[in-house]
Structure formats: C-alpha cells, structure tokens
Amino acid sequence: MVPVVVVHGGAGTALTCEELCKLGVQEAALAGYHVLQQGGSALDAAEAAVIHLENNPIYNAGCGSALNELKDVEMDALIVDGRTLDCGAVAAVRRIANPITLSRLVMEKTNHVCLAGEGASKFAKAMGIKEVSEESLRTEYSIKMWEKTRHFNEGSDQSEESKSGTVGAVVLDSKGDLASATSTGGIVKKMVGRVGDTPMIGCGGFADNLVGAASATGHGEAIMKVTLSRLVIFHMEQGMSPSQAADTALEYMNTRVKGKGGIIVISKSGEWTAKCNTKRMAWATVKDGILHYGSQHGEHNTKPLANPSGHS
C-alpha cells in the first residue's frame, strides 16, 4: 500500500496569515510522512502531524487556541484507530500543550473514550504529562480576537474573522491501516465548558480500515448535528469516491443546518480529497513522493519532495 498523509489547518474565510497557514500544513504533512518513512504506524503519523500544528501558534489548537468567555484556553481533541475503531478524546482540557497526545493515552491506557475538564487534567498528571502555563497557550492574536469579538453566538460564522479553525490529519500507512486525529481550541468567547464536534467520534473525525478516514473542521454545532465525518464514510460505504462523499455531506450540512466547514478524507485504497464550502481551508497531502497543497477554494499546487525520506 502506498502511504498517504493529508492534513488541514481549519476552514474559514479570513486572509490573516494565509501564506503561513499554507506553509504550516505542508510542514505538518511532511512531519507525518517522515514518521511513516521511519516505520511508524498511521496512528503515529497522524499524532505527529497534529502535534506539529498544535505547536504552531498560527493555528487554533494548542498554543494559539481561541479564548473562552473568561479569556482562558479550553481545548478538545480526538484520535481514532481504523484497525479496531478504538478512539480516545479529551474535552475542555486546560494547560496541556498537546491535547492530541493526551487523547491517544485515553485510548490506550483507559477503558473510556473521552475524559473532560478536571478529570482529563488528573489523568494527564498520572500519565506524566506536565502542565504548561495558561499564558504559554495564549497569543497576541488570540487576545486580539477575544477583545474584538462581542460575544459567542452559536449560529454565527466566526471564521469570517478568525485565522482558522480546527486542525487535523488522516493517514494511510503501508500496511493499509488508517487513522484520524483532530484538535481544536474551539470558538472565541465560547461559554466555559462548551465542547464542540472535535472530540465526538464520527463528528470531528472517524477512521475505519474497511472504508476510509476523515477529519472535519468548521461550525462545531452544525458538524455535530449531521455527524459529518461519519456521514462522509457512510457515503463511501455506498460506493461514492472520497470527493463525491465529501461534496455530498458538506452540501447536506449547508442545506439542512446552514453549516459551513471542510473535511479531509482518505479511502482504504489511498484515494484522498480535501474539500470545503468556505472560501479557504489550508491543506496539504504527501503521496508518491509528491507534496500537494492549497488554501483558497479550488486551489491545488504540487511539488516533488526534495528529500524522499520526507524531511522538510
């Protein structure tokens, strides 16, 4: 099986930091691909790609997350193993640099799927994950957006102003195993304790070796209402290609609940797509020694890897 890595940096409309967003997703895709080249699994690569995005303050995940109504950072994340449908998630977690890593520990070290809030923090300490300061997760941009946004409105399109939304990765490794990983800081001035689509299995992400893998971004409440990632996989089960399935699911979400967003998808055979019904969604893919990337709707650039090992 030819390995494939696809990543996204969030769907939206803002021009802010577009070139840096495009560069960051390319670097994340290469980071995940390098893990595969070194013999890592699809799970390893998906986690590595998302960690790369969480560590980049350009994105709304990890250090750079949107601030809630009290100006604090509460993050959500999900990882899914396509081999077994095992998954792990964290919701409204605080003072953790890489929520995606904590999500994987929930999957591998507990009998639960999701841990939230204080319970997630206690589990992180038990697993030896050090807390980071609240200040280290805030950026000048996130503070500026908090001050600019009057209040959180569930139905509003805050992506009009925000730099980007949720980040994620889907991976197919050489063994044919699939994985999905998704992480977010949520919505500016959200209510304390608000949990979006990201940590919800089938909403923010899904992976099944029998079909494919997906990771979503956009209006969390809308994505949850239509279980977007699972809906895409369902359409693929009915015979649609990843591209057809993504378009169909996004159109349904827009028509049924007026939801905007995007999704990246890989089929079990390695066919991939990156689709959105917003103006922009930064994405990048590595397959067959070629890096594909884009941001604006319909944009698709390619370039061969300078180093076949996958180093950036």
167: helix, strand or coil = strand
- Amino acid at the residue 203: C
DSSP state of 201: B
CA dihedral 89, 55, 173, 245 (to 10 degrees): 70
Rounded Cα–Cα distance for residues 179 and 139 (Å): 30
- Cβ proximity of 285 and 25 under 8 Å: no
Query: What are the residues whose beta carbons fall under 8 Å from the beta carbon of 108, sequence distance 6 or more?
Result: 88
- Cβ proximity of 263 and 275 under 8 Å: yes
Question: Token pair 């930091």 is at which residue?
Answer: 17
CA dihedral 226, 15, 244, 202 (to 10 degrees): -30
What are the residue numbers of the active site?
166
42-54 and 99-109 helices, crossing angle to 10°: 150
Rounded Cα–Cα distance for residues 113 and 87 (Å): 6
Rounded Cα–Cα distance for residues 304 and 48 (Å): 21
What are residue 179's DSSP bridge partners? 81, 171
